[in-house]
Amino acid sequence: MANHKSALKRIRSNEAKRVVNKYQHKTTRNAIKKLREVTDKKEAEKMFPSVVSMIDKLSKKNIIHANKAANLKSGLAQHIASL
């Protein structure tokens, strides 16, 4: 167990950040799944900017790697183009 005051504070703040990061990551993954399930091109094109925005935010905060974000966006764009 941590002995220093700062270490205890770090444990608390890390846990709070972990919960927020987990929520944002899971929400984004669900949005990606919903976008992939959509069969209507118009509806998919409408959803695309918001999903890309979510992915960019995760990448900016280093929740996911920048290359993974680029691959996800590329894959979603290809999916929409194929509809």
Q: Mind listing the pLDDT tens digit for each residue in 60-76?
A: 999 999 999 999 999 99
Full-model pTM = 0.87
Q: Which two tokens stand for residue 26?
A: 């899971």
Contact 41, 80 (CB under 8 A): yes
> Which amino acid is present at 44?
A
CA–CA distance, 72 with 37 (Å, rounded to integer): 15
Handedness of CA 24, 29, 35, 37 (dihedral sign): negative
Please tell me what DSSP assigns to residue 64.
S
Q: Mind listing the pLDDT tens digit for each residue in 6-24?
A: 999 999 999 999 999 999 9
Contact 57, 23 (CB under 8 A): no
